[in-house]
Chains A and B, each alone.
Chain A
Amino acid sequence: MAPIVDELEKQFQGKVAVKRINANLDETAGKFGIPGVPTYVILDSTGKELERVVGGNPPALLAGFQNAQGK
């Protein structure tokens, strides 16, 4: 999934940012209750969770990027 995320990051540059978090080292994973990796949590510009994509699901991740832009 990493190459796909890189591609989406380029495609949505300036509109949607990507923050990579090591679930084993960062306590943020515990705050979000991440069930496993890969998991993508999509936040709006205020930090509110819009949706999350669990597992390698490129179409769902693309829809998440599209949904996030402008919010």
Chain B
Amino acid sequence: MKCPNCNSETSEMLTRCEWCGGGLPHAHAQAPAQGPGNTAPPPQGYQSESSPYGGPPAGFPPPSDASYSGYGQGGWGAQREPVQPVGQPWYMKPSTYVVALVLVVVIIGAIAVSMAVKGSGPRYANLVVGGQPTVLDFYTDT
């Protein structure tokens, strides 16, 4: 079939012209599944396949993200910025669990040391008489 944009011969199985990238009025093109993101109406100034640069393939909605710069500035999808990879959320990162584990170990260690110190207490071995338990009797002369 001939591309309506560049008039070049291109395959019927394609939805975009293999030469100019323009959309093809294609009978075999299947519309994507209609989801919540595909129901938005086309933006102001949207042009269909009759655009010199072609529009989105038949059945495809126009891009709705901020990188959309309008048709006629390089063609469908030609000027779109690359998609930034989305990082893992904090609760999915292994480092989060490592930090949590370290914190737990530190807290448990601090509690253990605290209990050990509290349990030991001061010792007054110099006041013990004859190695026996000793009662210190504090008195005054008056």
Contacts and interface: CB of A to CB of B under 8 A. Distances in A.
Interface of A: 2, 5, 8, 14-24, 28-29, 31-32, 34, 37-50, 61, 64-65, 68-71
Interface string B115-142: 0000011111111111111111111110
B132 A16 contact: yes
Contacts of A69: 133
> Which bucket holds chain B's interface residue count?
20 to 34
Interface of B: 120-141
Nearest to B129: A17
A15 B133 contact: yes
B139 A71 contact: no
Nearest to B142: A24
Given A43-B128, A46-B123, A47-B126, A16 B134 contact: yes
